[in-house]
Structure 1
């Protein structure tokens, strides 16, 4: 296919996505449940804390769940819907098969339904939980704008829209831009990987037969590449093997950016941020100043949370997060 044809197709795809997802700041309000369910945030915080104390992987999983939800149809909890005999849902799409901890949101919803029935949406619960896992891990706090409705549509094939761990910087910038997110938002939200873990399948291609001229991605620090190759040998048969995306995996901090600057980004998309002039200066600023990163991350999470769907305007408040009413 000719390059100009590829450009046209890319622009068409960007237009289609941008017409389906929009930013809506006016409809959401931090005080949305103050009168109708003032206990909601406290219940979510307690549920998330208890789950995290039993499973330290919960914070990273909840944060990833929120990002993956918002990037498809806006923040409408479509990732929480179970597949049915007639429909394969988002949670069973290839990028989401490793997303876990749905039970945490389900538990918080069940507790809230006992006190404030049919008032608080699953989408709002997920947005609150994403903030709480960051804060309890040592990261920033921010007011969660609420008032989202739960979507009725969830399709596994739409998860192909999620940014790939193999994306280059241009692809990342374009993916975020069609959702109203800037280059600074891209770099700030990538810092969520400070809590992340990845299985080998998402980065193993960087370690073996990378190209016709080099076996290993040359942007990886040599010593770090050797560590990754021991964890993920070429003929790896351990489906659970993988690597934390940050050496301080349980702490929300700016160490992710320091690692990327040293060539120790696990994903190709992580390392690309340090290799492109459009993003490197932001990586450097966040690596120097953790408070700056925290402020920008909080601001970008508010923007991400304000992405709402234009595909299904007839949202609802689900009684159970895993199924439509």
Structure 2
């Protein structure tokens, strides 16, 4: 998901929108009542043509919120000498931007200049989960789109190589708890990881072990076949769990079996609090769903943005 990052870099501290620009459930009820159904239809159509769309939209929303708040800055294209977030190393593999573009175009045809790209992305991420068999929820709306997007700032994203201390620092800088960390990590139930994201666990792990000893050895061996030490296959990798197109709690079950991909996944088992939550979510889909929804609403309420973009790829 991202390259190794240094925690010495300055991290932005976000807060939930202040009362003056607070998000609300009925934000578009009068100005664009068709907004949510329009977005849902676009996401549904995209999913029929590409089953990787749900994972892509969920990851895109996460990567957006963790930089400057949920302001759609991840959607902006690089212009002139400025390299935008989407071209930063951790975001090179982001895709399905066309889904947001299509939703924006559809909404602009009925409610021009009203619905922000940041809101479209937040709603699309919700739909991606719900249409994959996961929970649905009411998304607070009223986000504004940001005007700044810098590839250099993507170094702030939590990396797949992070240990629990690094993860805790990254999440707490954004007002998110360890419980939020465990719940949001469950989003890994959807998606695919490239070899580079977990290569550190299956080759040259330490002077004493080529493979991370916390990994199920048969699982690690199968990964080494797909991802050899000097892999030259560009898109080689592995699905994040065994039910990759279904939003469920399989991720947690596999994690307890030593069958997770990232160091940051395995890190969830290194403290009693986070391990207890992993076990709870592994044994109850309902508990996971409830916690995931709560943490998604919390994360997607991180403040940011100043305008409603007419084109999600460029500032007004």
Aligned mate of 1:192, from 142, 162, 187: 187
Deviation at 1:85, TM superposition (A): 1.4
Aligned mate of 2:311, from 311, 320, 323: 320
TM-superposition CA deviations, 1:44-64 (whole Å, max 9, x none): 000000001100000000000
Are positions 1:136 and 2:127 aligned together? no
What does residue 22 of structure 1 align with? 15
Deviation at 1:24, TM superposition (A): 1.9
Q: Aligned equivalents of 2:302 and 2:82: distance in 1?
A: 24
The root-mean-square deviation of aligned C-alpha atoms, in Å, is 1.3
User: Quick check: 1:261–1:284 contact (8 Å CA) kept in 2?
Assistant: yes
Q: Aligned equivalents of 2:94 and 2:108: distance in 1?
A: 25
User: Quick check: 2:12–2:68 contact (8 Å CA) kept in 1?
Assistant: no
Q: Aligned equivalents of 1:303 and 1:24: distance in 2?
A: 11
97-106 or 210-219, which moves further after superposition? 210-219
Are positions 1:113 and 2:104 aligned together? no
- Give secondary structure in 2 for the equivalent of 1:211: coil
Aligned mate of 2:292, from 265, 275, 297: 297
In the superposition, the TM-score normalised over structure 2's length comes to 0.95
In the superposition, the TM-score normalised over structure 1's length comes to 0.93
Aligned mate of 1:238, from 225, 233, 238: 233
User: Quick check: 1:37–1:116 contact (8 Å CA) kept in 2?
Assistant: yes
What does residue 203 of structure 1 align with? 198
Deviation at 1:274, TM superposition (A): 1.7
Q: Unpaired segments of 5 or more residues in structure 1?
A: 1-8
TM-superposition CA deviations, 1:11-37 (whole Å, max 9, x none): x867x522xx22227410011000000
User: Quick check: 1:23–1:179 contact (8 Å CA) kept in 2?
Assistant: no
User: Quick check: 1:194–1:252 contact (8 Å CA) kept in 2?
Assistant: yes
Q: Aligned equivalents of 2:253 and 2:314: distance in 1?
A: 42
Aligned length: 309
Q: Aligned equivalents of 1:78 and 1:244: distance in 2?
A: 27
Aligned mate of 2:53, from 35, 49, 58: 58
What does residue 165 of structure 1 align with? 160
User: Quick check: 1:25–1:306 contact (8 Å CA) kept in 2?
Assistant: no
In the TM superposition, 1:1-325 aligns within 5 A as 17-18=12-13, 21-24=14-17, 26=19, 27-309=22-304, 315-325=306-316
Deviation at 1:162, TM superposition (A): 0.2
Q: Aligned equivalents of 1:210 and 1:110: distance in 2?
A: 47
User: Quick check: 1:169–1:273 contact (8 Å CA) kept in 2?
Assistant: yes
What does residue 3 of structure 2 align with? none
User: Quick check: 2:76–2:149 contact (8 Å CA) kept in 1?
Assistant: yes
Deviation at 1:65, TM superposition (A): 0.1
Q: Aligned equivalents of 1:316 and 1:275: distance in 2?
A: 42
- Give secondary structure in 1 for the equivalent of 2:145: coil
Q: Aligned equivalents of 1:211 and 1:239: distance in 2?
A: 25
Deviation at 1:255, TM superposition (A): 0.5
